[in-house]
Structure 1
Amino acid sequence: MLFQFPPAVQAAMAAGKYVQVFTSAGVPIGMVRDAVTGQFAAHAVGVVVHNSPLSPLVAASQLILGGTQMVQTHMGFQGVNRRVEGVSQQVEGVSQQVAGVSQQVAGVSQQVAGVSQQVAGINAGLQSLQASVGILQATTAVIGVGVVAGVALSAVNLRQTMKLREDVKQLKLEVKNGFIDLKKVLKDQGSEIILRIDQVAQDVKFEQHRLVLIQSYGKFLEATKLMKIAMSCEDVSIRNADLANARQMLAEALADYNNPRLLSETSAAGQLRRIECGWAIDQTIALSYQLQNESAAVSDRLSHLQDKIRQDSLNVIERCETEDELDFLFPELTRIHDHDLAVLESWQNHVDWMRSLPASELKLLQSADFSNSEIPVNSDINTDTIADSAPPEQLLYENLKQKSHPSSLLDQLQFMMKPELRRESESYITQQAAIAGYKTLVPANLQKASDLAVANLYWYFKVRDESEVEVA
């Protein structure tokens, strides 16, 4: 992950005036400070992952830099209130200090403007999460509950989902009750897709699921609205009460999306779409804690969510039964691993770094002027331009598919989400290679090999062993 800064800030970094911030463990933070004074100077305005702009499928890119903004917003509300009270008292008691009071009023106005800008960024993050849940949920109207045909999955694959997200962001599509009129959107993809949508709509079991999803999305939407209202409250107790109520609604919505019975009735693709909605809601819960400066709770929630994404992904991979499902899952899970998990990890690193700061550094952070950082608030940071070309994850999969077979590709997905699983395959390869006399397939060499090579070797020996057993 490579953070990008505004051109003027990049130039100052190149000249040695600014230096990037790192944690004590050497992890980069999306922020720079003055090399001489130590004053925090600017936020990153973009992130690059594997030479591509950061564009997660579920996560809100805006929240990757939210840690400092949240502290400044929280402190800003308190600071604005205290300063307004102080100015009011001076106006009442010292009329001759008009000039000084005017200057303080100007300072308060500037601080209010700063808080407003930060609130706008938070609202943009909430809007991004709302759109993600709506779009991902909407695609279940094509996927349905049971076995899914390949043509149906291709209509809502990673590429198509990213297009839907862009259309919703540009107001070309509207999410109603957590669903989109996919018959209208996908009308150019052939009659088979339209027939599939009609069949899913008539499925009694899916209708049961759909009603639950509509109710859950409604709770989620109301919770995010309440969070936005909470940010407009100057009274801290009212703001905290509203955020707590929003969290309760989010927890109820999350329980519906994670309902084990409903998940067990869906295919691998359908299950992935439901749990992706749950991941977005989990992020919203973390955000609610961050709005209250409960950094320990934020860190714990983000750590738990990253573990959950990995384990949920493994569960989905194990449920994959057809090559059509694999074609759908591989690019999407790769995007989630490379982009969404990167956002959550960076967000947690930022929060943990702030928790480790001494009081003097926190004071600098709270008073920092980030006017050099023009962070967009109405769109994802460096969102990919949605073009007709396939996303890089799709191209990667097509390349790997020519060199592997489904079982090997599934293993490669598992290795990506849980690297420890690769050790088991390496051990099996080493044992079988020794028996077969392949002297180069030793642990030291296997550790340097790609996931592709390890998975293919594992299945080479596995199939060979099974064939020998059958012959015997």
Structure 2
Amino acid sequence: MDYIFTPATQARLNSGNLVQPAAKTGKLLPAARDPVTGEFVEIAKIFYQSTSRTLCDRGVIGLLAQLAGGGPVQPLVAPVYVTVAPLQVAQTHQGFQKIYRMLNCLKINLAVMQATAAVMGIGAVSSTVLSAVNLNQVLKIREEAKHQKLKIKDGFIDLRHILKDRGVEVIQQIFKVAHDSSFEMHRQKLVNGYDIFSKAVKRCQSALTVPDLKLRNSEINSGRNMLFEALKIYDNPSLLEGLCSAGQLRQRECVWAIEQAIGVTLQLQRAYDTVSDRLLELHSKIRQDLLSVVKECQSESELDFLFPEVTRILGHDLSVIEFWQNEVDWMQTLSRKEQHQLASLDQLHGDNLKSSVHTKFAVLAAEVSLYETLKQKSHFLSLRDQLAFALKPEIRRRYEFYVSQQAIATGYQALATSNWQEISDLTVANLYYFFQIRDDSNENYPTEDELQTPSRHFPKALKNELNYSN
């Protein structure tokens, strides 16, 4: 993430008169501090990174940073309020309001995700229906729900009105799912789970107004127990049965939202070690869940849905969760006095909170533009693998080894590079399938000039034998 300070503060940082604190991982935090007095001077606004200085330069996240540049952090599932300023829980009105909003944000996200999943239903779904609830659409739906323009009933939102312009097929799909007996059992489980989740959130929010600390903690404990009960319902593997990969992603997103709500309740009680551990586990779980979803992707229409959304989660949501964890670790090093000083400073920056959170979404998400650009240079299997590389870079090494061996065996010595760090994921995946085609058939395989757009050369019988779990 990029931190944006006022020009005056940035000048003092550049001169060394102010310093930025760092988490134990070495990553800088969005605060400016006087190194002599120890006083905090300013809390920065936080933006999505405009440059990338890691190996992700060669993959989809690096390409996204180049395409989109800097901008407000707008995660899909994570509560955006985590990124506004250091999340402190000092006993201030501003601090409690932030926690209240975070929990409410998670509740809205959960309803939006399962409502759009309900449009898909169980089984295969057309590209038209998937496009009606894709990344751009879900951002619009969430914005409408935030401003209370859409009503949530039993954990679901009736999307017929907002999706009426998406075509007759979409409306027919909504009615079809509504009368599908197999999905009705699925829906009822989610209705029960959301009811428990909603009551748990309200209980935790009410606990913030209780002046007695012992009673407040008791109420938070009770609310968290209810959250674990809701999590048990949502995280049941049976809810994934029969869903296409896009539907599975939506279901998993619901689980992540509940996990984050549990983390918020623990942070309210200053259980920083526990929060840090759970966030670390959640970060790993999200990556593994996404990899499982990508592995289940069986069609180009599903990838059209998944690629932009998975990229958004990688670039924004996981960054937010990592930032949250770093912040929690840092909070443990601060005294109560320092935490209260941060709280007072945060209160002075209330306008920043409002302007950052309510930034309007882009007409077209940068992730969608990136995907359309990559589609012109690649094909379904290669694009799916590039997404897998971003989720688990170790997978790419097997491709590099295969390409090196095949390049040597077939006389393409220039492709048998030893410096793979400079080669993009796009090139590695395309080269892999270039040589796969040569193995599959000695006739009509693509030339080097045709490598950038090889999809038309791929025989229908081509199978991907990769094991993503390794």
Tell me the equivalent position of 2:34: 34
Aligned alpha-carbon RMSD (Å): 2.3
Letter in 1 for 2:440: E
1:275-424 equivalences under 5 Å are 275-355=252-332, 357=333, 363-368=337-342, 369-370=344-345, 373-375=348-350, 381-387=356-362, 389-424=363-398
Q: 1:29-178, aligned counterparts within 5 Å?
A: 29-49=29-49, 50=65, 51-64=70-83, 68-70=87-89, 73=90, 76=91, 115-178=92-155
Q: Deviations over 1:390-436 (max 9, x none)?
A: 21000000000111110001101101111111111111111111211
1:436 aligns with 2:410: yes
Say whether 1:244 aligns with 2:218: no
Contact 2:44 2:85 in 1 (8 A): no
Q: 1:195 to 1:207 in 2, by over 3 A?
A: same
Which residue identity does 1:47 align to in structure 2? F
What amino acid maps onto 1:426 in structure 2?
A: E
Q: CA offset at residue 178 of structure 1?
A: 1.5
Distance change >3 Å, CA 62–CA 28, structure 1 → 2: same
Distance, in Å, in 2 between the alignment partners of 1:134 and 1:376 is 28
Rate the CA distance shift 1:365–1:17 in 2: closer, same or farther, 3 A. Answer: farther
- 2: distance between equivalents of 1:128 and 1:459? 43
Shift of 1:10: 4.3
Aligned-partner SS, 2:21: strand
- State how far apart, in whole Å, the 2-side matches of 1:6 and 1:232 are: 34
Q: Verify the 8 A CA contact 1:354 1:362 in the aligned structure 2.
A: no
Distance 1:364 1:294 in 2: 17
Deviation at 1:299, TM superposition (A): 0.5
In structure 2, give the amino acid aligned to 1:52: G
Contact 1:4 1:45 in 2 (8 A): yes
**Which residue of structure 1 aligns with residue 180 of structure 2?**
203
Indicate conservation of the 8 Å contact 1:55/1:380, yes or no. Answer: no
Cα offset for 1:28?
Answer: 1.1
Q: Give the 3-state SS of the residue equivalent to 1:415 in structure 2.
A: helix
The two structures have a TM-score, normalised by structure 2, of 0.85
User: CA separation in 1, counterparts of 2:165 and 2:339?
Assistant: 52
Is the Cα contact below 8 Å between 2:240 and 2:248 reproduced in 1? yes
The one-letter code sitting in structure 1 at the alignment partner of 2:432 is: Y
Query: How far apart are the structure 2 equivalents of 1:319 and 1:68?
Result: 37
Partner of 2:422: 448
- Of 367, 375, 400, 1:426 maps to 400
- Contact 1:32 1:41 (8 Å CA) reproduced: yes
AA in 2 matched with 1:64: T
The one-letter code sitting in structure 2 at the alignment partner of 1:386 is F
| Deviates further, 321-330 or 174-183 | 174-183
Question: Conserved in 2, the CA contact under 8 Å of 1:230 and 1:243?
Answer: yes
The CA distance in 1 between the partners of 2:355 and 2:423, in whole Å, is: 35
SS at 2:75's partner residue? coil
Farther-moved stretch of structure 1 (164-173 vs 392-401): 164-173
My pick for the range that moved more, 254-263 or 160-169, is 254-263
Aligned residue type for 2:166:
Q
Q: Does 1:461 align with 2:441?
A: no
Which letter does structure 2 place at the counterpart of 1:401?
K
**Offset of residue 382 of structure 1:** 4.7
Match of 2:356, SS? coil
Higher RCO structure (Cα 8 Å, ≥6 apart):
1
| SS in structure 1 of the partner of residue 31 of structure 2 | strand
Counterpart secondary structure, 1:440: helix
Cα offset, 1:48, TM superposition: 2.5
Matched with 2:241 is 264
Letter of the aligned partner of 2:309 in structure 1?
Answer: E
* C-alpha separation in 2, matches of 1:182 and 1:276: 19
On the 8 A contact 2:46/2:84 being kept in 1, the answer is: no
Provide Cα deviations, 1:190-244, integer angstroms capped at 9, x if missing partner.
Answer: 2111111111111111111111111111111111111111111222221222111
**Displacement, 1:330?**
0.3
What is the alpha-carbon distance in structure 1 between the residues aligned to residue 168 and residue 75 of structure 2? 31
C-alpha deviations, 1:22-68, integer Å up to 9, x for none?
Answer: 23543011211124322122322332233222100000121236755
More deviation, 287-296/256-265: 256-265
CA 1:427 to 1:53, structure 2 compared with 1: closer, same or farther past 3 Å? same
Q: Which residue in 2 is equivalent to 1:185?
A: 162
Distance change >3 Å, CA 135–CA 376, structure 1 → 2: farther
Report the TM-score, using the length of structure 1 for normalisation. 0.85
Asked if structure 2 preserves the Cα contact closer than 8 Å seen for 1:45 and 1:375, the reply is no
> Deviation at 1:383?
4.9
Number of matched pairs: 425
CA contact (8 A) 2:4 2:45 kept: yes
Distance (whole Å) between structure 1 residues aligned to residue 404 and residue 249 of structure 2: 34
In the aligned structure 1, how far is the partner of 2:101 from the partner of 2:9?
A: 24
Structure 2 partner of 1:108: none
Cα distance, 1:351 vs structure 2: 1.2
Unaligned runs of 5+ in 1: 77-114
The residue type equivalent to 1:59 in the other structure is: A
> Is contact 1:20-1:28 (8 Å) kept?
yes
- Percent of residue pairs bearing the same amino acid type: 44
